[in-house]
Structure 1
Amino acid sequence: MNSENHSKPLVSAVIPTHNRAEILERAIQSVLDQTWENIEIVIVDDASEDETPQLLESLSDKHKNLKVIQNSTSKGASASRNIAIKNAEGEYIAGLDDDDIWRPNRIELLMEEFQEGYSAVTSNDRMDFGEKEIVWKKKPIITLHDLLFYNQVGNQVLTKKEYLQKIGGYDESLQSAQDYDLWIRLAHDFGPIKTAPHTLQVVNMNEDRESITTSDSKTDGYIACFQKHRDKMNSEQIKYQKYRIKITEGKHTGWLELFKATPRHLLIKEITRKLFL
């Protein structure tokens, strides 16, 4: 799609996928339903062995704004996202996981909020746990200081392709926390991340949502991300990061440890997590 034919800038929706034919079409349809008119969809099929290639062939025949790239061998989610970004023609990039969906006005409202001085825009998310749903209301402005405590952005943003290129895209060496690492680098180089005051994405929180990743070791990825950015952190951030890593490892944490490790402004969040999650 040529953005010169439209008054609005071209936005590229990038979707990596692997063996998710049964739910992928739902994600794609949520992009096709966007109220923002000038949009393309770039899908990287990470060597799927199910019906994904046939589904994508059929959809690309119907929708000229859908671009499909096939990996001959599985490269993992981060590499697939980087391939999608490289092949995107849009000035702006918006990510979507293949098991999540966008509300129809997501791109339009995110573009309304994007301003110079911000590195990216996110939104509130509806977290779908199957039996229950929770709306994650994020801070209006998420700074680098905020991010060095934990990932307060979530899994997706809208940003400029130029910004992603300048910081080198996703770190393919990380086994997990690749999105968190990217948000830290974006905020460090280009400014804070803004939150549109709307719930514009439904995030699937079922346990199998990480199936595209090449490693089951989430903890190793979080530790590597922590070590990568530790020199940016103050003592309070380091203490809290170590506490969260311990939780990720499945180790028992008592109330005393919670109060010792958690900054005052995050206490309510941690108490709520310990009581209800």
Structure 2
Amino acid sequence: MTSSSNLVSVYIPTKNRLSLAIRAINSVLNQTHQPIEIIVVDDCSELAQYQALCAEFVDYDNVHFSRNSQPLGACATRNKAINRATGEFVTGLDDDDYFKPHRIATLLAAYDDKYAFVCDNNSMFKYYQFGDISVKKILKSNYVGNQIFTQRYKILALNGYDENFPAYQDYDLWVRLIERFGKAKKIQGCSQIINTSRDTLRISDNSDTVRKAVALFLAKHAHLYAHQEKSVLYVKVKYAHYYKENDFMDVKSLIKAISLGNTRINIMILIILFRKFMALIQ
């Protein structure tokens, strides 16, 4: 059971995004729920930026900073923050995104220990359906987004984010949490704003990186996909379409994927087949 007195830890990895990180931290300080602690781990930013960030919040005893002596990457940096957190509950925030004021209060009120975690939509995916998310459903697509709200011990029980993943590390963790602790719950609403500006580079913008991550993801969870061939095809088609990877799936596999019977996926398949055809005649 949750109450208004539950301490919630928010972990924020950051690197060389001073103004955006300030906005992110302020959005957590402005939450309607209290108490909150903010764990900021800097992944070896320029020293001047890190010092300026610390100075901005020097008067707040619930904002804690540390800096990696060398770049460790997003997964390791998040894991360090989670390990340093002291709250019963944790949730994450990327340094270029921010929370609406009611986010933590809303997710805490919706939380039940019978769920692996709770989440809601964000500004990029406002229309994803809400309700329970089973293993079968999460294998088809990341209906969760990039952040969840859960008890800290559940993430620690799985050793946090898998640091071998160059991308899709959040998706991988969501799958493992649901597999271990049962269904997740997605509630209605949108309480997180995602930065979609092209001024900030995200790992998921690199198709080569994501290509490796998709292969690693499918291999790691092969035991779950054993009887979910359609879900495997679904993941591959979405990746091939979004990143314009014409050689990621052969024609035979694409035609087979039409059996999914999903209009949106079939449109993606037609686009991929058209790209393959154009590549041949050029």
Indicate how the Cα distance of structure 1 residues 236 and 97 shifts in structure 2: closer, same or farther if over 3 A, else same: same
SS in 2 for 1:41: strand
Indicate how the Cα distance of structure 1 residues 209 and 202 shifts in structure 2: closer, same or farther if over 3 A, else same: farther
**Shift of residue 191, structure 1, vs aligned partner:** 1.3
> Using the alignment, how far apart are the partners of 1:145 and 1:259 within structure 2?
20
**Shift of residue 260, structure 1, vs aligned partner:** 3.1
Indicate how the Cα distance of structure 1 residues 11 and 152 shifts in structure 2: closer, same or farther if over 3 A, else same: same
Which of the numbers 213, 227, 248 marks the counterpart of 2:219?
A: 227
TM-score (norm. length: structure 1): 0.85
Partners of 2:8 and 2:90 within 8 A in 1:
yes
Work out the percentage of aligned pairs sharing the same amino acid. Answer: 33
SS in 2 for 1:135: coil
> Using the alignment, how far apart are the partners of 1:197 and 1:221 within structure 2?
29
Q: Which residue of 2 aligns with 1:187?
A: 178
Deviations 1:7-32 (A, max 9, x none): 61110000000111121111111101
TM-score (norm. length: structure 2): 0.84
SS in 2 for 1:28: helix
The AA in structure 1 aligned to 2:131 is: P
**Shift of residue 273, structure 1, vs aligned partner:** 11
Partners of 2:203 and 2:209 within 8 A in 1:
no
Deviations 1:122-173 (A, max 9, x none): 111112xxxxxx6343332221111111211110001111000111100001
Indicate how the Cα distance of structure 1 residues 212 and 248 shifts in structure 2: closer, same or farther if over 3 A, else same: closer
In the TM superposition, 1:89-100 aligns within 5 A as 89-100=86-97
Q: Which residue of 1 aligns with 2:71?
A: 74
Deviations 1:85-113 (A, max 9, x none): 00000001110000111000000000011
SS in 1 for 2:140: coil
Partners of 1:175 and 1:221 within 8 A in 2:
yes
Indicate how the Cα distance of structure 1 residues 144 and 203 shifts in structure 2: closer, same or farther if over 3 A, else same: same
Query: Which portions of structure 1, spanning 4 or more consecutive aligned residues, are displaced by more than 6 angstroms?
Result: 212-216, 272-275
Which of the numbers 21, 26, 31 marks the counterpart of 2:28?
A: 31
> Using the alignment, how far apart are the partners of 2:65 and 2:207 within structure 1?
25
SS in 1 for 2:221: helix
SS in 2 for 1:154: coil
**Shift of residue 213, structure 1, vs aligned partner:** 11
Q: Which residue of 1 aligns with 2:277?
A: none
**Shift of residue 240, structure 1, vs aligned partner:** 1.8
SS in 1 for 2:38: strand
In the TM superposition, 1:1-277 aligns within 5 A as 8-49=5-46, 51-127=48-124, 135-207=126-198, 208-210=200-202, 217-233=209-225, 234-252=228-246, 257=254, 260-261=257-258, 263-264=260-261, 266-268=262-264, 271=267
Paired residue total: 262
Indicate how the Cα distance of structure 1 residues 7 and 117 shifts in structure 2: closer, same or farther if over 3 A, else same: closer
- Where in structure 1 are there 5+ consecutive unaligned residues? 1-5, 128-133
**Shift of residue 215, structure 1, vs aligned partner:** 10
SS in 1 for 2:61: coil
Partners of 1:21 and 1:51 within 8 A in 2:
no
Partners of 1:77 and 1:213 within 8 A in 2:
no
Indicate how the Cα distance of structure 1 residues 87 and 201 shifts in structure 2: closer, same or farther if over 3 A, else same: same
- Where in structure 2 are there 5+ consecutive unaligned residues? 272-282
> Using the alignment, how far apart are the partners of 1:260 and 1:80 within structure 2?
37
- Name the larger-Rg structure: 2
